[in-house]
Chains A and B, each alone.
Chain A
Amino acid sequence: MSAMELLLWARGPGLVIAAVIFLFGMTLRLIEVYSLGRKRDLAVPRSPTPGSGWRTIVTRSLPHADTWRRSGLTIVAGFVFHIGLFVVLLFLLPHIELIRSLTGLSWPALPTPLVDLVTVITLIALIVALVHRLMDPVKRFLSGFGDYLAWTVTFLPLLTGYMAYHHLLLDYTLLLALHILSVELLLVVFPFTKLTHTFTLFIARWYNGDIAARKGVAS
Chain B
Amino acid sequence: MADETMLDILKRRGVSRRGFLKFCAATTSLLALPPSMAAAVAESLGRVRRPAVIWLSFQECTGCTESLTRAHSPSIESLIFDAISLDYHHTLQAASGHAAEEAREHSMKADWGNYLLIVDGSIPLKDGGVYSTIAGISNLAMLQEAAAGAAAIVAIGTCAAYGGLPHAQPNPTGAVAVSDIVKDKPIINVPGCPPVPAVMVGVLAHYLTFGTLPDLDDLGRPRAFYGESIHDRCYRRPFYDQGKFAKTFDDAGARDGWCLFELGCKGPTTHNACATTKWNGGTSWPVQSGHGCIGCSEPDFWDAGGFYKALSTPVNSVSGAATAAVAAGAAAGIAIGLANRQRKARARAGHQTVTIADLEK
Asked whether, in the complex, the Cβ of A110 is within 8 Å of the Cβ of B243, the reply is yes
Q: Which residues of the partner chain B approach A5 to less than 8 Å between Cβ atoms?
A: 299-300
**Nearest neighbor of B240 in chain A, beta-carbon distance:** A112
Asked whether, in the complex, the Cβ of B269 is within 8 Å of the Cβ of A94, the reply is no
A172 to B217, CA, bound (A): 14
A15 to B315, CA, bound (A): 9
Asked whether B314 is an interface residue with its Cβ less than 8 Å from the other chain, the reply is yes
- Of A28-36, A57-65, A71-79, A201-209, the stretch lying at the interface with chain B is A28-36
Q: How many residues of B contact A (CB 8 A)?
A: 45
Q: Which residues of the partner chain A approach B232 to less than 8 Å between Cβ atoms?
A: 167
**B48-103 with Cβ < 8 A to chain A:** none
Q: Which residues of the partner chain A approach B313 to less than 8 Å between Cβ atoms?
A: 11, 97-98, 101-102
Asked whether, in the complex, the Cβ of B241 is within 8 Å of the Cβ of A112, the reply is yes
> Contacts A35-B333, A172-B268 given; 10 further ones with Cβ under 8 A?
A8-B305, A12-B314, A15-B314, A24-B332, A32-B340, A93-B243, A98-B310, A109-B243, A173-B298, A176-B311
Q: Which residues of the partner chain B approach A97 to less than 8 Å between Cβ atoms?
A: 261-262, 310, 312-313
A25 to B334, CA, bound (A): 13
Point out the residue from A11, A20, A31, A112 that lies within 8 Å of B321, measured CB to CB: A20
Question: What is the interface of chain A, defined by CB distance below 8 A to chain B?
Answer: 2, 4-5, 7-8, 11-13, 15-16, 19-32, 35-36, 93-95, 97-98, 101-102, 108-113, 167, 172-173, 176
**Nearest neighbor of B310 in chain A, beta-carbon distance:** A97
Question: What is the interface of chain B, defined by CB distance below 8 A to chain A?
Answer: 218-219, 229, 231-232, 240-243, 245, 261-262, 268-269, 298-300, 303-305, 309-316, 318-319, 321-322, 324-326, 328-330, 332-334, 336-337, 340-341
Q: Which residues of the partner chain A approach B340 to less than 8 Å between Cβ atoms?
A: 32, 35-36
15 A-B Cβ contacts within 8 A? A2-B219, A4-B299, A12-B314, A16-B321, A20-B325, A24-B325, A24-B326, A28-B332, A30-B333, A31-B329, A35-B337, A94-B310, A102-B318, A109-B243, A172-B269
**Nearest neighbor of A35 in chain B, beta-carbon distance:** B337
A120 to B218, CA, bound (A): 31
Q: Which residues of the partner chain A approach B241 to less than 8 Å between Cβ atoms?
A: 111-113
**Nearest neighbor of B316 in chain A, beta-carbon distance:** A12
Tell me how many residue pairs across A and B have CB atoms closer than 8 Å: 131
Asked whether, in the complex, the Cβ of A11 is within 8 Å of the Cβ of B326, the reply is no
A24 to B262, CA, bound (A): 30
A23 to B242, CA, bound (A): 35
State whether A25 and B329 are in contact (beta carbons under 8 Å apart), knowing that A2-B299, A94-B312, A95-B312 are contacts in the complex: yes
Q: Which residues of the partner chain B approach A27 to less than 8 Å between Cβ atoms?
A: 325-326, 329-330, 333
Asked whether, in the complex, the Cβ of A7 is within 8 Å of the Cβ of B318, the reply is no
Asked whether, in the complex, the Cβ of B333 is within 8 Å of the Cβ of A112, the reply is no
Asked whether, in the complex, the Cβ of B333 is within 8 Å of the Cβ of A31, the reply is yes
